[in-house]
Amino acid sequence: MSPVYLLLLLIPVISAQTFHWGPCSTPELQSNFTLEPYLGEWYEIAKLPAYFAIGECVQANYSMREDGTVRVLNSQVLNVLNGSRWVVEGTAKVMEPKEPAKLGVQFTSFLPYSPYWVVSTDYTTYSVVYSCTDIFERFHFSYAWILSRSPTLPTVIVDYAKKLLIEEGIDISKMTHTDQNCIV
């Protein structure tokens, strides 16, 4: 299948993504990343558009499973569901033991693991995450998230996270703030 034909088939998905020509960026990731202190609840503060995260009050909860993988519970409040909270469960795992900040996440068993790269975190306040899917090194879809352990994050930390992404060659011009003021 030609890349142009594939691109045409993906137009509906592309409209809800951050699309760029060329290969993915390869940012420097969190050094000495440790999974255990990263587990727990995270609130989405800001993100690049993603077709799978269109709601408000987006949260993720990570917990260790007995088999060494991570249980991922992502939830969001969707207006299309009358403001109901929608939850999806997935699995994450360290993809390369030598690079523990490079995780993969999977929400259905018939799709491969998607990148979930921890660019920076202090484990207790914030996390900056990047994901990118490269298509034939011709174009890519990138995602980025600024996460917090609480529903709000000081502006100085949000600004730091955005600056970090920009310095790593990640275009955040389409980044949006996530509303965390939901009552469910």
**CA-CA distance, 184 to 75, in Å (whole number)?**
12
User: Would you state the pLDDT for residue 16?
Assistant: 42
How far is Cα 29 from Cα 100, in angstroms, rounded to an integer?
9
Q: What is the tens place of the pLDDT at every residue in 66-103? A: 999 999 999 999 876 677 888 999 999 999 999 999 99
Q: Tell me the per-residue pLDDT of 141-165, one tens digit each, with 9 for 90 and over.
A: 889 999 999 999 999 999 999 999 9
Query: Which residues lie across from 88 on neighbouring strands?
Result: 74
In angstroms, how far apart are the furthest CA atoms of the chain?
A: 47
| Helix %, strand %, coil % of the chain (to 5) | 15, 40, 40
Q: Give the residue-averaged pLDDT of 48-60.
A: 84
The residues with which 144 forms a beta bridge, in sequence order, are 130
Q: Is the pLDDT of residue 10 over 50?
A: no
Helix residue ranges per DSSP H, the chain: 3-9, 11-14, 155-167
| pLDDT for 183 | 56
Tokens linked to 166: 């920009």
